[in-house]
Amino acid sequence: MQVLCSPALSGGLPAQPLTSPAPAPLVPAQPVPPPLQPPVGASPQPPLDTAAPAISGIAQEHQTLLHVDGSWLNEPTSESDQWLRCDASGDNCQPSPGATSDAYMPAMGDVGHTVRVQEIASNAAGPSAPATSAQSAIVTAAPRAPVNLRPPTISGIAQQGQTLTASQGGWTGSPTGFGYEWLHCDSAGFHCVPISLATTSRYSLVAGDVGSTLRVAVVASNAIGTSAPATSAQTGVVSAAAQPPTNTSPPMISGTAEEGLVLTASPGNWSNSPTSYAYRWRRCNTQGIECVAISGARLSTYLLRPADVGFTLRVKVIANNAAGHSFAISAPTDVVVGPAPSAPAHVMVIVEENRNRSEVIGALDMPYLNSLANKYGNTTKWNGVSHQSLPNYFALISGSTEGVTDDGCENSFAGAATLGSELSLAGISWKAYQEELP
């Protein structure tokens, strides 16, 4: 319908007729297709999935995973869920017993695996085929307080004065800190009690530990909590502190105290296991006192020298081990004597008869005889015992005149010991040279 209006305008001019805008042509609405349904009169069909279910949440032990429903045709009236444990690749899946709700919390057995969820929709026509989600990420273990895998150990020497050191051992859970407690145990490693204030990784053994063993208990901690203590094996039985050697019998000197010969020192006996010995020879007076160290004489043997004649010697032995050293001194030797004179190859006795000493010793007409007397020796108090010659010869060779008082040749003394018979018995040859005798 159109409505025309002709109002008068100023100026008396007739007004033009006004026409309302023509209405827009009508556009028929596009029909919305109804959901896909079975044809009219067809049998009802079970639900059919158009989008698989999904999983949301963190794949970690004790974290909650949620089932996100898939999409279905044929108007499901109900649905059921089943969570599946699969290998790391999402294959070889098996139902997780009792896991049939919309939420699932992975347990320790799921660690290292993946998880899927399986959904079945139902309507009056029956259940659908299962629709299965993609696999989750591999399930990781929940953070835990550390757990011991390998017990701590103790290193060091179980001896008074030594320091023991504890290792941490091996742990799960990436510990961020460790605590230590040293334990004092009996010799078999039992009946252990904590040692007051011994709470670091190192412990210095004291006298009270001697005869006992020790253990160490270690706890590990992280942001989740603190572990149970892990205890080491016991140490060996703690021994007393090492002591320097102690002499139990003094050093001794063997050998003859004579210039040119060698003396030998034995170290004597010592306790506390000496590891080495040192020697210092000393020259002393005849009583073995007022001793002076002999420069350079530092071996277990000593060659006697001229300076030692008239003195005695002692040796000072110094015994050493890791704990220190101590010394002991031998008894003195005999007084050192000069070298023994060498035995002469020959012994000659020259008798000048019927002359006074002054007629021979110093006589200018006997130069050779005097040279022998000066080089070797001559008697000063060897006087005749009889006026006749023969008794003097008997006295010279046998020590007795044998009762002879003259120079007669008819005397015989069978069995009388003489210089000649003694030399013969000793296997030494001899001769006599007599002037003007048959």
pLDDT at position 431 = 80
What confidence tens digit (pLDDT) does each residue in 400-428 have? 888 888 877 777 777 778 887 888 888 88
| Bridge pairing between strands 202-204 and 163-166 | antiparallel
Within a 10 A sphere around the Cβ of 421, how many other Cβ atoms?
14
Here the tokens at position 343 are 């035995």
pLDDT at position 32 = 43
Angstrom CA distances, 434 to 76, 383, 431, stand at 164, 19, 10
Residues forming beta bridges with residue 320, ordered by sequence position: 276, 325
Contact 286, 211 (CB under 8 A): no
Structural domains in the chain, sorted by start = 48-132 (2.60.40.2700), 148-231 (2.60.40.2700), 246-329 (2.60.40.2700), 357-425 (no CATH)
pLDDT at position 39 = 58
Here the tokens at position 256 are 């003859």
User: ∠ CA(155), CA(161), CA(164), 5° rounding?
Assistant: 15
Tell me which DSSP letter residue 373 carries. Answer: H
pLDDT < 70 positions in the chain: 1-42, 342-343, 345, 435-438
Q: Distance (Å, rounded) from C-alpha 293 to C-alpha 10?
A: 157
pLDDT at position 80 = 92
Q: Distance (Å, rounded) from C-alpha 49 to C-alpha 53?
A: 9
Q: Distance (Å, rounded) from C-alpha 412 to C-alpha 150?
A: 111
Collapse the DSSP code of 394 into the 3-class scheme (helix H, G, I; strand E, B; otherwise coil) and give the result: helix
Contact 146, 230 (CB under 8 A): no
pLDDT at position 131 = 94
Q: Strands, E, within 111-162: which ranges? A: 114-123, 126-127, 131-132, 148-150, 154-155
pLDDT at position 356 = 77
Tell me which DSSP letter residue 233 carries. Answer: P
pLDDT at position 437 = 60
Within a 10 A sphere around the Cβ of 300, how many other Cβ atoms?
16
CB-based contacts of 386, cutoff 8 Å, min separation 6: 392, 395, 401, 405
Within a 10 A sphere around the Cβ of 385, how many other Cβ atoms?
11
End-to-end CA separation in angstroms for the chain: 211
**Long-range CB contacts (< 8 A, 24+ apart) of 189-193?**
189/213, 189/215, 189/233, 189/234
Residues forming beta bridges with residue 183, ordered by sequence position: 194, 215
Contact 283, 304 (CB under 8 A): no
Collapse the DSSP code of 343 into the 3-class scheme (helix H, G, I; strand E, B; otherwise coil) and give the result: coil
Four-residue CA torsion sign, 315, 320, 323, 324: positive
- DSSP assignment of 313-337 equals EEEEEEEEETTEEEEEEPPP-PPPB
Q: Distance (Å, rounded) from C-alpha 246 to C-alpha 317?
A: 12
pLDDT at position 40 = 58
